Amino acid sequence: MAAKRNGEGDKREQILRAAATVFASKGFFGARVSEIAAKAKVADGTIYLYFKSKEEILAALFALAMTQFLERARGELATLEGAQARLERLAQFHLEQVGSNRDLAIVFQVELRHSQKFMERVSTTILADYLKLIQQVIGEGQAQGVWRKELPASTMAKCFFGMLDEMATNWVLSHRQYPLGDLAPVVSDLFIGGLRAR
Amino acid sequence: MAAKRNGEGDKREQILRAAATVFASKGFFGARVSEIAAKAKVADGTIYLYFKSKEEILAALFALAMTQFLERARGELATLEGAQARLERLAQFHLEQVGSNRDLAIVFQVELRHSQKFMERVSTTILADYLKLIQQVIGEGQAQGVWRKELPASTMAKCFFGMLDEMATNWVLSHRQYPLGDLAPVVSDLFIGGLRAR
Amino acid sequence: MAAKRNGEGDKREQILRAAATVFASKGFFGARVSEIAAKAKVADGTIYLYFKSKEEILAALFALAMTQFLERARGELATLEGAQARLERLAQFHLEQVGSNRDLAIVFQVELRHSQKFMERVSTTILADYLKLIQQVIGEGQAQGVWRKELPASTMAKCFFGMLDEMATNWVLSHRQYPLGDLAPVVSDLFIGGLRAR
Amino acid sequence: MAAKRNGEGDKREQILRAAATVFASKGFFGARVSEIAAKAKVADGTIYLYFKSKEEILAALFALAMTQFLERARGELATLEGAQARLERLAQFHLEQVGSNRDLAIVFQVELRHSQKFMERVSTTILADYLKLIQQVIGEGQAQGVWRKELPASTMAKCFFGMLDEMATNWVLSHRQYPLGDLAPVVSDLFIGGLRAR
DNA sequence: CATGAATGAGTCTTCATTCAT
DNA sequence: GATGAATGAAGACTCATTCAT
């Protein structure tokens, strides 16, 4: 009577998980919907009960992962005092997260950027929230008087993100398998302290 | 006098120019070879006399632009003294170049990243040279004792590139049309001086 | 007292009514079973408790409407004397019926004819009965000596039907909304009296 | 040198011929584009160099056949004197034409009517020209005073067409293979002389 | 009886690439 | 070298139908 509850409950999630793997290994355009379906153990048509199109799967994947990421990032910051500690934690968290799931990382660092249309969509939604979060932390430090106020916080936030993003992309494209999180202190240090010796 | 050979002879260039436009507006996967051919005013088949495949066109486009970019970047640096001046010039030049041809910028910031395979190819070739150039400049400053030595120059080079690249991507995706080059001093200043007030 | 059983019990009819509308507006191939189900306010699967297939719905629709039509046509004729009066009444009734339900008319004049297989099925069943009815009336007139006997009654019956059918099809396809029944006297007059002036 | 001129010159026609056969035997919706291609001995893709879509093939088939039909019908009438002779010839020609190519006949009598949208397209184009031609002949007879003027020529033209069309449809659906043209005199006689004995 | 989530077979169409001229 | 007509492989998506509940 309580039968058939084995793998369902979330076909949608099964599909997303499968999609992450397939997108990562084949790329968005190289990925076949039927392959995603097979890997998710559902019929091809079932995909379309949960997603309007192949593109929507990618979008949903992004939205889901990014939402979780942001949520957890906020959680991480909640327990910390001080702008510097928080920025350092952000770098650590960002790189650890990306480094914790290579498939998803590939999707995020490479596949998600496959078209201007898609990138715009990405930039203007949750990514924008993430940038705002960084900017907030920077703003905090500025307010506390420990960080420079001459430069616009929004541009600096983008710079910080750019550094992390480049580390992530390099890691994804590199064949050596170093722990991505290890770079976090370097990035924080450089970003906060600057290049100049003193 | 090697007269009037322009227009012909340069079919290869015509094709590349056309490709830049089409890739920029439609994306790599959205671009049709026949559209590139039409815009270049050659027959579809002619494309294949100059390029092995559609993907090769993109690769060639990248190689050409990147080679020119590197060459000119080196030229820019040649006349300058001092690591800081050179790094600042690099930032300026990078952003000005990207900002000077929106089509090419779209191709570089978005389309070129459409697949892991392609990005790897990109990273390990000319992009690597560019990073080396940055790294060199940083190394110089380190040798001169004006810049910190605790952090690895290669990672810092990537961070610098990451900042510039993020500025460029933001500009491409933004609909406001600010002059991208204006951000160069901000980036240099932040990168060199760091976030910390002193 | 066999009370209130309307609304339920008549799922079959609900479905047929819904099907008439959907077939009429989308065509047989354009119609979606799920749309018929939605319009009939039953689940998709329920359709298959009443009909074996989508095609069977169309067949049933035809059978039902045609049976009612024939029955009523026979009723109309029952009260009349004289072949001419009966033939005139037939024309009037045919066109009025078609003209009274545009959805059903579209189904009959257009959708029902979507395939040879289906048309054969239609022709050899109830439509054949209708032609026989016409033929009977013509045979009557021939027996009474008022109508020509040189021409075969069956062919003439088809000609009569062809005229009416063409009027009906024209009306369905026309966007002007004239009362179709008004054409009945013209058709009867022409069919009986012929084109020739006398 | 004069090679490869074997079957080409008209791939378009090859395709149309193949389409007529396939549409006739499978119906429009049952017909597979790849089957048409195979029968026309061209690649699937080649179809789309000549026609925008499967539907366009049907439309083209209709347009071609109907244009030829009309042209020849006009030719037939050109040599004749007298409205009656011309009307009789029209009936003869119509039925002979339909009867001369069963595949095309099936397409015309059945498949072409598969959707309201398509039928409207058919009715308002060349079919309208054909009706006008019939109407003209009838108008002639009216002007000559040999035919009744009380009834509108346009309605009578439709009636005439309706008779012929019904004969054609019956023939297509019938499995007996009588010569369709033999019915022409019956139809003409009935249409002109009417049902009434005199 | 009724449901509606799941199925998966089935096909039109696109487009990079080739090759006879 | 140049052409562009022809190729044909390949795949996203739809939807009639089923069946476990």
**Cα four-point dihedral sign A151, A157, A158, A162:** positive
Predicted pLDDT of residue D116: 73
| D192 interface with C at CB cutoff 8 Å | yes
Percentage with pLDDT > 70 across chain C? 95
- Whether B29 has its CB under 8 Å from any CB of chain A: the answer is yes
Instruction: Estimate in Å the CA A46 to C1' E15 gap, whole number.
Output: 28
Rounded to a whole number, what is the distance in angstroms from the first to the last CA of chain C?
A: 63
A119, A120, A166 ranked by CB distance to B159: nearest: A166
D189–chain C Cβ distance below 8 A for any pair? yes
**C-alpha span between D152 and D160 (Å, rounded):** 13
Token digits of residue B102: 């929106």
- The string of pLDDT tens digits covering residues B51-87 is 999 999 999 998 898 999 999 999 999 999 999 999 9
Q: What pLDDT is recorded for position A32?
A: 96
Whether residue A98 contacts residue A66, with contact meaning beta carbons closer than 8 Å, is answered with: no
- Chain A residue whose CA is closest to B106: A116
CA angle in degrees (0–180, nearest 5) for D49-D52-D53: 115
CA distances to A97, A104, A175, B70 from A170, rounded to whole Å, are 15, 15, 9, 20
Examine the pLDDT at D105 and tell me if it is beyond 70.
yes
Q: Which of residues 165-184 of C touch D (CB under 8 A)?
A: 165-167, 169-170, 172-173, 183
A56-96 pLDDT, tens digit each: 999 999 889 999 999 999 999 999 999 999 999 999 999 99
Least reliable range by pLDDT among C25-34, D30-39, D108-117:
D108-117
DSSP state of C196: B
Dihedral of alpha carbons A18, A24, A25, A28, sign: positive
What is the average pLDDT across C68-87? Answer: 94
pLDDT (0 to 100) of residue C5: 45
- Spatial CA neighbour of D173 closest among C116, C159, C162: C116
pLDDT score of A167 more than 60: yes
**pLDDT score recorded for residue A135:** 97
Q: Using a CB–CB cutoff of 8 Å, tell me whether C13 touches chain D.
A: no
Taking the C-alpha atoms of residue C46 and residue C11, their distance in angstroms, rounded to an integer, is 9
Is the pLDDT at B8 greater than 70, yes or no?
A: no
CATH 1.10.357.10-classified regions of chain B:
55-195
Residue intervals of chain B classified under CATH 1.10.10.60 are 1-51
Chain D residue numbers with beta carbons less than 8 Å from the beta carbon of C111 are 115-116
Interface D:C, ≥3 CB–CB pairs < 8 Å? yes
Contacts of D75 (CB under 8 A, 6+ apart): none
Nucleotide nearest to A48 (CA to C1'): F13
Which residue among B138, B167, B196 places its CB closest to the CB of A158? B167
Whether the pLDDT of residue D31 is over 90: the answer is: yes
Q: What is the reported pLDDT for C1?
A: 39
Q: Are B168 and B105 in contact (CB under 8 A)?
A: yes
Distances (CA, A) of B165 to B71, B91, B111, C98, D6: 19, 10, 14, 71, 59
pLDDT in tens, C43-77: 999 999 999 999 999 999 988 888 999 999 999 99
Strand partners for A196:
B147
Q: How far apart are CA A127 and CA A133, in angstroms?
A: 10
* pLDDT above 60 (res B167): yes
* List of chains touching A (3+ CB pairs within 8 A): B
Tokens 């003294």 map to which residue? B81
Q: Can you give the three-state secondary structure of chain A, one letter per residue?
A: CCCCCCCCCCHHHHHHHHHHHHHHHHCCCCCCHHHHHHHHCCCHHHHHHHCCCHHHHHHHHHHHHHHHHHHHHHHHHHCCCCHHHHHHHHHHHHHHHHHHCHHHHHHHHCHHHCCHHHHHHHHHCHHHHHHHHHHHHHHHHHHCCCECCCCCHHHHHHHHHHHHHHHHHHHHHCCCCCCHHHHHHHHHHHHHHCCECC
Q: Which residue is nearest to nucleotide F14 (CA to C1')?
A: A45
Structure-block tokens of residue B67: 């080679």
CA dist list (Å): A82 to A140, A141, A148: 8, 8, 15
**First CA to last CA distance, chain A:** 73
Q: Looking at CA atoms only, how far is residue B89 from chain A in angstroms?
A: 16
* pTM score of the predicted model: 0.86
* Fold entry, domain B55-195: Tetracycline Repressor; domain 2 (1.10.357)
Mean pLDDT, residues B170-194 taken together: 93
Ranking A30-34, B13-17, C116-120, D26-30 by mean pLDDT, the lowest is: C116-120
Assess C110–D contact: CB distance below 8 Å, yes or no.
yes
How much is the pLDDT for B182? Answer: 96
B196–A194: do the CB atoms touch at under 8 Å? Answer: yes
Length of chain B: 198
- The number of beta carbons lying within 10 Å of the beta carbon of residue A135 is 19
Confirm whether any atom of chain F, the nucleic acid strand, is less than 7 Å from CB of D8. yes
Q: Which residues in B49-79 are b (16+ Cβ under 10 Å) and which e?
A: ebbeebeebbbbbbeebbeebbeebeeebee
Half-sphere exposure (CA, 13 Å, Cβ side) for B74? 10
User: Does domain C1-51 sit in CATH 1.10.10.60?
Assistant: yes
Quick check: B121 contacting A, CB < 8 Å?
A: no
pLDDT digits (tens, 9 = 90+) for A113-138: 777 777 787 777 888 999 999 999 99
Structure tokens at D144: 């000559």
Two structure tokens written together for D48? 């789309």
Residue with the larger pLDDT of the pair D3 and A111:
A111
